[in-house]
Structure 1
């Protein structure tokens, strides 16, 4: 996504975990790990790194499991920090991580010498945009989310006061597909993300009210690698 390259940030080499989902900063990501290459990744994270972080990047083409199963990745992903890890005793591990900050995937590193994918990334900053515009958009988005929940007859969650956190929560809360959630993640600043989120929520509310369409069920509680 060319717009994301306008940011300047720290460059780093990070282990990558391609997934069929989009992780955003502040979100929790539970994983069930069983493939040998990702068990090695987990071991490296917990034993060789002061801060156990890896890059989650959504799969554009391909699927999660099996060597050579990923054919193309999105350009913008999210660094995830491991907060819990436990062995199930049968070769599987349960891992909980939290999204911390976005990155641009500059290149894959096939010569990194790791069993798992590794990439060169640039950590992205989070410009907010115009202060008044952000505050106005956040309030309009909260009203749109309220209308959406009312249309569905669903219990409305407590939305965060922080506009940045609000802009990231929309994708999962409204049940948007991977493409729309990726667009939200890749937005160049908070103002742009709030504008996009407002359009998407109004679209979903319109579909729900006129056609009776409802969002897909929540993602499975654990993403198998």
Structure 2
């Protein structure tokens, strides 16, 4: 078990993905100041964890993931990802602009009691088990094909996109870049391994591509669909 400062957000970070942040709240300014004071040989990292309810996001629907209650006004999902600060710019008024990189997943076991104004989590690091290379390659090929179909449906063109060959890297990239709900992204982050994540992504991408096809087949504008019908 380790202690990790937490940065609750209304988003999900995946390993290997970049997350720029603008830090303006006093409690998180203090967090960044504490990290900059660490010895140079220690990683400057904090835990990005999605908010289920409270603070920066409004009330959301319940999902299957566990909830950690961090006070009466905030509840967090159980699985998060450590963000390592790669670039930091301190602004004249005390705010910070950060460039961070997702490193490794963790499970939030509880919230530690201390005097810091920001949350500190008791976490355990989650492994990324190595699966059967042939099976992972087969699943990655299926996700790659489904993702290309999804991109064509989104962009309405035939242009392809260069994507990584590594199944784990691909699984994280697709999870972070496809237009999914926070609950969908959180579910993908919580998958125990690459194979499980790829299987779920293939199903999600097929669902989203089919929905996009149905929307384009409706013979009315999207603006008309957004207006409630009158009971009269």
TM over 0.5: yes
Q: Secondary structure at the match of 1:22?
A: coil
Cα offset for 1:173? Answer: 1.9
Match of 1:75 among 75, 78, 92: 78
Give the TM-score normalised by the residue count of structure 2: 0.82
Aligned residues: 201
2:16 & 2:130 partners in 1: Cα distance? 16
1:142-183 per-residue CA deviation (whole Å, 9 max, x = no partner) reads 111111122232544321111001111112321111000001
The answer to whether structure 1 residue 135 and structure 2 residue 137 are counterparts is: yes
Counterpart residue number, 2:32: 42
Larger RCO (CA under 8 A, 6+ residues apart): 1
1:200 & 1:87 partners in 2: Cα distance? 40
Q: Secondary structure at the match of 2:82?
A: strand
Counterpart residue number, 2:175: 171
1:114 & 1:156 partners in 2: Cα distance? 48
2:73 & 2:104 partners in 1: Cα distance? 23
Of structures 1 and 2, the larger Rg is shown by 2
Counterpart residue number, 2:46: 54
Shifted more, 95-104 versus 163-172: the winner is 163-172
CA RMSD, Structure 1 to Structure 2 (Å): 1.9
Cα offset for 1:68? Answer: 6.5
Distance 1:87 1:113, change over 3 A: same
Give the TM-score normalised by the residue count of structure 1: 0.84
Cα offset for 1:204? Answer: 0.5
Q: What aligned pairs does 1:186-197 form with structure 2 within 5 A after superposition?
A: 186-197=190-201
Tell me if structure 1 keeps the 8 A contact 2:14–2:176.
Answer: no
Q: Secondary structure at the match of 2:145?
A: helix
Cα offset for 1:90? Answer: 2.2
Cα offset for 1:26? Answer: 0.6
Unaligned runs of 5+ in 2: 58-69, 218-232
Tell me if structure 2 keeps the 8 A contact 1:86–1:94.
Answer: yes
